[in-house]
Structure 1
Amino acid sequence: MTSTTGTLEFRVPAPGGGLLWAERGGRGSPVVLLHGAGMDSRLWDSVVPELRRHHDVIRYDARGLGRSAPPDGPFDDLDDLRAVLDHFGLPAAALVGLSMGGETALDFALARPERVTALALVGTSVSGHAWPSDAETDAYGRARREGDAAALAGLELSVWASMGRAAPGGALIETMVRDNAERRLVSEHHLAFFPGREAESRLDRITAPTLVLHGDRDHPEIAVIAGRLVAGLPHAHGQVVAGADHYLPLRAPDRLAGLLLAHLRTGCP
């Protein structure tokens, strides 16, 4: 189906059943955008137009979030990413992931290195990382255990969107987080856990050229993770983006688009 922006929308069959909403537009080497937990592909709204001027850009809503169908059993986000690439006939692509999306991109690069031409990791998490225990972490755990979507959304906005509603992208961030709070609880309940899947100790095996970015007003632990990624990935370089919290693609879209395009020019064949 053609969208109002001239791009194409798709429903991609998900492994095990259900459909993933996806959108494709532009020409050039392929780039897949992966959003974070509790968000959806609207995260990339302000970046996609510029990227499409130079690349074949695909973005999709992760299982159970945005316009994708909720899971009714265990699922693997790596299988979903593979299904998206296969659906569009892409043997390989550059992966741009934020937070949970960056973690998925790293895990996928370890599992299927031949399918990843380049990585861009924005405010990313990494599997195997031990997050420090604090009041915020405890509150997140409690909200998940109790199925308290309102509390989870409130924490997401106060901790990760700390610049607030008045900052660029603030209204969309708030809408997106509240839209996905209930869905996030369902999706995370069914997301399969693989104890042996951890990237932090195996970063040296990832050979794709990698850009590591985070905002200067993101959660402090994201800066710690970024430092480890830059030090551990063989072909990585990092940069801090001023005036952005965890929702960097909506807080500083022009700056992010420029950095991504420069990296993809050198990192993609």
Structure 2
Amino acid sequence: MRSNGNATGTPTHEVLLPAPGGGRLWAERSGTGTPVVLLHGAGMDSRLWDAIVPELARHHDVIRYDACGLARSTPPDRMFCDVEDLGAVLDHFGLHAAALVGLSMGGETALDFVLAHPERVSALGLVGASFSGHTWPRDAQSSAYAAARREQDAATLAELELSIWASMGRTAPGGELIEAMVTQNAHLRIAGEQQLAYFPDRDAEARLDEIAAPTLVIHGDRDHPEIGEIAERLVAGIPGARGRLIADADHYLPLRTPGPLTELLLAHLA
């Protein structure tokens, strides 16, 4: 384990922990207080949270990690499951339960995890989230996106990721980091997804009413329209869930609008 500090002087600890699917997951722990685990989306990595971790860590024990095969985590050597990886992260840090904040596919993982292990989740923050069981509408962009993944075309996949999900562009806040993160992870994502276990019977959408953890659903007003539709279903389906819309943000809210997002999360997790 390596220790250092972040911009606010809060001590941080980095570790490569054993992953259930083989290899190791890079994780970072910072701050003190009630535990919060941050989960990034597909094709991203934990740098997604760079702009909000320092403030969150003033109030919470914050853990973020790179999903299997992405960024500083090593590739899997057998089939792996994102839900099992999350459990391994909690176990490694000795946490029986934690709040989960997940963006996009990270939100889907958080939802599947809370349905499998409700006793291990104290609260949910779903940011531009998707959920298992959802059928995405077919259009030219989504078809091209699926084709790039199927054909293992990393350059096209990165280009589409940026045009569809980072629609505010490179000159908007966080744009350079978003572009670097997506480009650097595109080929790693394609390789890793070949080993990602698929569970066709998972259907969080049909089980939203089982979720008891306090839930906040957040999305940006410039995100893909389908994310807004999903947000409405999450708020309607999860008992007591609250929804919030953040202005001037596409899918990459933690880098586009870190201040408003952090404020909402701190209030929810207090």
TM-score between both structures, scaled by the size of structure 1: 0.97
Asked if residue 11 in structure 1 is aligned to residue 16 in structure 2, the reply is yes
1:167-217 deviations in Å (ceiling 9; x for gaps): 000000000000100000011111100111110011000100000000000
Question: How far has the Cα of 1:4 moved from its partner?
Answer: 4.4
SS at match of 2:85: helix
User: 1:119-169 deviations in whole A, cap 9, x for unaligned?
Assistant: 000000010011001111110111011110000000000000000000000
Counterpart in the other structure of 1:179: 184
Q: Deviations over 1:66-122 (max 9, x none)?
A: 100111221000110000000000000000000000000000000000000000000
Residue of 164, 171, 190 corresponding to 1:166: 171
Q: Shift of the alpha carbon at 1:3?
A: 2.8
Output one character per residue of 1:32-89: Cα deviation in whole Å (capped at 9) or x when no partner.
0000000000000000000000000000000001100111221000110000000000
TM-score, structure 2 length as denominator?
A: 0.97
Question: What is aligned with 2:138?
Answer: 133
Aligned to 2:66: 61
Instruction: Kindly indicate whether the alpha-carbon contact (under 8 Å) linking 2:36 and 2:100 is maintained by their aligned counterparts in 1.
Output: yes
Q: What is the CA–CA distance in structure 2 between the aligned matches of 1:149 and 1:66, rounded to whole Å?
A: 15
SS at match of 2:249: coil
Q: What SS does structure 1 have at the residue aligned with 2:100? A: strand
Tell me which amino acid in the other structure corresponds to 1:119. L
Say which of 109, 112, 119 aligns to 2:117: 112
Structure 1 counterpart of 2:150, from 140, 145, 148? 145
User: Residue 205 of structure 1: which of 207, 210, 213 is its match?
Assistant: 210
1:86 is aligned to 91
Identity rate of aligned residues, in percent?
A: 70
Cα distance between partner residues in 2 of 1:209 and 1:53: 21
Gap regions ≥5 residues in structure 2: none
Q: Displacement of 1:235 after TM fit? A: 2.1
Residue in 1 aligned with 2:252?
247
Q: How large is the RMSD of aligned CA atoms in angstroms? A: 0.7
* Rounded Cα–Cα distance in structure 2 between residues aligned with 1:136 and 1:71: 29
Aligned-partner Cα distance in 2 for 1:236–1:13: 34
Whole-Å separation in 2 of the counterparts to 1:139 and 1:195: 22
- Paired with 1:2 and 1:193, the residues of 2 have a C-alpha distance of 36
Q: How many residue pairs align between the two structures? A: 265
Letter in 2 for 1:184: R
In structure 1, stretches of 5+ residues that fail to align are none
Q: Indicate the residue corresponding to 1:260 in structure 2.
A: 265
Provide the secondary structure at the position in 1 that maps to 2:38: strand
Q: Choose from 181, 201, 205 the match for 1:196.
A: 201
Distance apart, 1:16 and its partner CA: 3.3
Q: Is the 8 A contact 2:125 2:265 kept in 1?
A: yes
CA distance in structure 1 between the aligned counterparts of 2:94 and 2:5, rounded to whole angstroms: 24
Q: Which 10-residue stretch deviates more, 97-106 or 70-79?
A: 70-79
8 Å Cα contact 2:22-2:78 kept in structure 1: no
* Structure 1 moving runs of 4+ over 6 Å: none
